[in-house]
Amino acid sequence: MPSLISQTFRARLQHIYKLGILRTASKEEARRIRVVNIVSFATGILVTVYGISFYLLVHSLLILVPAVGIFCPAFFSMIWLNYKGYFNASRIGLLGIFIVIILYYGAILGRVTEVQLLAVFLMSVALLIWRPQEKLQRIICVSMPIICLVVLEFIYYFHLVEPLPLSAQTQNLYRWMVMPVVLFLNYLAISLYQRNIMDLLRTLRSRNTALLRSRNEVMNQRMELARYSGEMEDLVHERTIALQTANDAKTQFISELSHEIRTPLNTIMGISEMLNEALGQPDPEERIRQMAKNLHATSHNILELVNSVLELAKIEAGKTDEVKMGAFSLRDWLLNTVNIYQSIASKKSVFIHLEIDSRFPEMIVSDKLMLGQVINNILSNSIKFTPAEKNIRVRCFHNLHSMFIQVCDEGRGIPSEQLAAIFQPFEQGDRDMYRQFGGSGLGLAIAKRKVELMGGSIQVSSQQGEGSNFLIALPLQISSEARVHTATEIAPLPSHIKIVVMDDNVIDHTIMKHFLARIGITQVRFAINGLEGIELVRDMQPDVILMDLHMPVMSGRETFFNLRQEKLLKHIPIVAVSSDAFKEQEQEYISMGMDGYIRKPVEISVLHGVLEKLLLVDSRSANAAALPNPSLAD
């Protein structure tokens, strides 16, 4: 119980001492507020106790009333001022109260009060409650006790105030009672100084520890920075070597690409010259037919090469085409693909054998176009490196979750240390072998990235002198749609259809005229620029406009917007025919408002499909417009 009372009392005292501290964020300011609170509380209690004691000793209200009624409440009001945030007022008020006490009790009690000791305590308190920067306040507060002592000496000397009559015994008793109070107050001042010094030492120690910790952190950061700098130097060195290697590979690729393009171009030019010569000889039909086949095959090779370069550029730019899933018969599709490549392989006396598991699903869901790019690249690669009288086997099988397409050839094989390089763009396994057989080194890199885009993988194993084995694994998704056999012949379009072709290339006029005639359209007129084309459209009023986008005088874009602004022409469908090969460019033209897009070189099946779609839509719209409105009929 006593310990509980003691703890409660101490807690209350601490609460009184801390009044007003929460109103400031400065630790130094809080210390000065605490000093004022402690001194005010202690002297308020002491002045009350000693006021009552001296009253009982000398029976004079001149001692009791000021002590209990004025000085004690005044000291406690200094604590209240701190609580309210009036810190400077409480300091000045505290010193003012002490000055009044010294003058009052020193005058009425005489020299027996020994106020000199109280003046020393007051100067100590002044130094505690004012900052060293507040020099003027310190000087004033330290000077005031000295001035008080001088004033008291004048009072004593000239007998300005008559002190209370005290007997010698009372004076001695009073002196013995005052002495402990003065000693206590000076002890309190010394304790507060010591506490202040200890706080300063703790602050210095804390700052020293913080500085030491900061220094260690700086040293650690320097070491970490040095290590990181070393790692970055190594990384930059590695990247530099990698970039140099890539640059060398691309330089080699450009050199080989130039060779690969020049070779078929030389063939095309040679065959063209031979065609001119053959046309001047009797019975040239068979020779011309064979030359035309060779010319078409060579042109197809150049197109595949250019497409591979563009495809890799899109992949490296992060503009890979999206996977477009659709249902189809993999069995029929593989059979058709192998038949096409068998005609190419037959020229080398290489035979392609197709084996499809009899349990393989009739219809699957996958991206047929992307899968075609993968198989075409791998089959082209196998045909290229397989010698005459050898075989290529294409197998197709599946398990519960995956389907597999395996291409095995009997070529020269790939050394094990070069297997990883064949899937890198611009890299080729054996450069001497590629110089012998040709190739750009892009096909397998594109095939790998396409397979990964479809969620699958591609693996290769090889044995030198025996051949290579490519295994493609793709997710298996079975379709419930029925198998559909599509017709391969192109149905002719109505002969009354009128078309205007705008293209600055006269050779393209000849090609387009031939293709349009093959699909049944003979009413065709040609313009070599947009300005001439607009006049032609006004005169002919065609059903469809086929327009190149890069023309002199007036470009395809300007021509398109001009046609759309004319009231009599804006309804005519406009199809862009351009060499711009990227999907983003095609989407840009479609978003402009064009009705279709055909990429050069033009394929007759694509041309037929686009025109059939446009003409079918237009015919349906025309039929709908011709039908009578039932509401009007009524």
599 and 578 co-located in one domain: yes
Residue 481 or residue 410, greater confidence: 410
Last residue of a domain, one of 118, 147, 166: 166
pLDDT at 316 over 70: no
| DSSP character at residue 525 | E
- For the stretch 257-285, pLDDT in tens is 544 555 555 556 555 655 655 666 666 66
pLDDT at 309: 64
Domain assignment present for 227 = no
127 and 53 co-located in one domain: yes
Domain assignment present for 342 = yes
- Reported as half-sphere exposure (CB side, CA atoms, 13 A), residue 136 has a value of 0
Residue at 283: amino acid letter: D
- For the stretch 91-133, pLDDT in tens is 899 889 989 988 888 888 877 766 777 787 788 888 888 888 8
9 and 60 co-located in one domain: yes
Domain assignment present for 194 = no
- Cα-based distances in Å from 127 to 29, 79, 198, 321, 472: 14, 19, 17, 82, 91
Non-local CB neighbours of 291 within 8 Å, separated by 6+ positions: 271, 274, 275, 278
Bond from prior residue into 601 cis (ω within 30 degrees of 0): yes
Residue 191 or residue 389, greater confidence: 389
pLDDT at 433 over 60: no
Q: Is 465 left (phi over 0), alpha (psi -120 to 50) or beta?
A: left
Last residue of a domain, one of 256, 282, 313: 313
Non-local CB neighbours of 500 within 8 Å, separated by 6+ positions: 524, 525, 526, 527, 533, 536, 537, 540, 542, 544, 545, 546
pLDDT at 486: 52
303 and 336 co-located in one domain: no
Q: What is the CATH number of the domain that holds 464?
A: 3.30.565.10
pLDDT at 527: 93
Distance between CA atoms of residues 596 and 467, nearest Å: 45
Distance between CA atoms of residues 297 and 341, nearest Å: 12
Could you give the number of structural domains in the chain? 4
- For the stretch 491-506, pLDDT in tens is 888 888 999 999 988 8
Domain assignment present for 607 = yes
Length of the chain equals: 634
Q: What is the CATH number of the domain that holds 601?
A: 3.40.50.2300
Domain assignment present for 570 = yes
pLDDT at 153 over 80: yes
Distance between CA atoms of residues 422 and 443, nearest Å: 9
Average pLDDT over residues 556-568: 91
pLDDT at 216 over 50: yes
pLDDT at 620 over 50: no
Two tokens, residue 446? 């594109």
341 and 287 co-located in one domain: no
Domain assignment present for 242 = yes
Kind plus residue range of the DSSP H or E element containing 244:
helix 168-279
Residue 228 or residue 445, greater confidence: 228
Poorest-confidence range of 60-64, 116-120, 395-399?
116-120
| DSSP character at residue 110 | G
281 and 399 co-located in one domain: no
Average pLDDT over residues 605-622: 72
pLDDT at 614: 87
**Whose structure tokens read 């446009």?**
614
Per-residue pLDDT band for 423 (boundaries 50, 70, 90) equals: confident
- For the stretch 517-552, pLDDT in tens is 888 899 999 999 999 999 999 999 999 999 998 888
42 and 142 co-located in one domain: yes
Mean pLDDT of the chain: 79
552 and 424 co-located in one domain: no
The residue among 85, 82, 121, 88 whose CA lies nearest residue 102 is 121
27 and 141 co-located in one domain: yes
- For the stretch 462-489, pLDDT in tens is 888 888 999 999 999 988 776 655 545 6
Average pLDDT over residues 137-164: 86
Last residue of a domain, one of 149, 166, 183: 166
513 and 605 co-located in one domain: yes
Average pLDDT over residues 10-26: 73
| DSSP character at residue 318 | T
Domain assignment present for 294 = yes
The per-residue b/e assignment along 92-129, b for 16 or more CB within 10 angstroms, e otherwise, is: bbbbebbbebbbbbbbbbbebbebebbbebbbbbbebb
Distance between CA atoms of residues 439 and 257, nearest Å: 8
Average pLDDT over residues 212-234: 88
Domain that holds residue 388: 326-475
What's the count of helices (H) and strands (E) in the chain, helices before strands?
19, 12
Non-local CB neighbours of 548 within 8 Å, separated by 6+ positions: 502, 503, 504, 505, 508, 556, 576, 577, 578
Non-local CB neighbours of 302 within 8 Å, separated by 6+ positions: 261, 264, 265, 268
Q: Is the pTM here over 0.85, yes or no? A: no
Poorest-confidence range of 21-30, 241-250, 251-260?
251-260
Per-residue pLDDT band for 626 (boundaries 50, 70, 90) equals: very low
Per-residue pLDDT band for 317 (boundaries 50, 70, 90) equals: low
25 and 151 co-located in one domain: yes
pLDDT at 621: 42
Non-local CB neighbours of 311 within 8 Å, separated by 6+ positions: 373, 442, 446
pLDDT at 627: 38
Residue-by-residue DSSP string for 191-232 = HHHHHHHHHHHHHHHHHHHHHHHHHHHHHHHHHHHHHHHHHH
pLDDT at 561 over 90: yes
470 and 592 co-located in one domain: no
Non-local CB neighbours of 482 within 8 Å, separated by 6+ positions: 363
pLDDT at 24 over 80: no
Domain assignment present for 146 = yes
Give CA 458 to chain center in angstroms. 31
Per-residue pLDDT band for 251 (boundaries 50, 70, 90) equals: low
Q: What is the CATH number of the domain that holds 303?
A: 1.10.287.130
**Whose structure tokens read 């029929």?**
332
163 burial via Cβ count (<10 Å: 0-12, 13-18, 19+): middle
Return the number of other C-beta atoms located less than 10 Å from residue 64's C-beta: 18
The residue among 304, 249, 245, 242 whose CA lies nearest residue 427 is 249
User: Helix, strand, or coil here: 143?
Assistant: helix
Average pLDDT over residues 196-224: 84
Residue-by-residue DSSP string for 417-483 = GGTGGGGSTT--S-HHHHHHH---S-HHHHHHHHHHHTT-EEEEEEETTTEEEEEEEEE--B--SPP
Percent of the chain whose pLDDT exceeds 90: 16
Two tokens, residue 463? 């044995």
